[in-house]
Amino acid sequence: MEPQEAFIQTPLGITAIKGSTSGLTSISISDPGTTPTSAIVPESLKPAVKQLQEYFDGKRTTFDLSLNFKGTDFQRRVWQALLDIPFGKTCSYLELARRLGDVKAIRAVAAANGQNPFWIVVPCHRIIGSDGSLIGYAGGLWRKKWLLEHESPYKQQSLFV
């Protein structure tokens, strides 16, 4: 089946969802006004739209979607490791490299993290610096901060200033 796409409004901008009945191929974010939202969402993309809306409404902490990862073996290992980071938790680039068995691969881990094709669903926003700082986020650090605060069990205080 030919790939389909849908564009939905989220609190962080326009989210593009691409895929088919065989699974999603990408979920990405862009600034408001860059693309109009979809009047009609293809049937194959409706579960992704619904789950993302539930996430933003605070009703979903995990996703159950078919993802078609396209990347190197190493990238797929990094993306799989990201899926193991629980909602509301963070992990450093160094710790992720350690979990993958090679602390010297920290830059490669960071590069693979930046190439993640599934915004939010594969939670690359949960990766922070070893000192707890917000570093490196393709969608912009302000979005990373928003996502981490959205997932924080401590809603009344900001994690990051």
Catalytic amino acids?
124
DSSP 37: P
Q: Which residue's structure tokens are 């401590």?
A: 154
DSSP letters for 42-106: -GGGHHHHHHHHHHHTT--SS----B---S-HHHHHHHHHHTTS-TT--EEHHHHHHHTT-GGGH
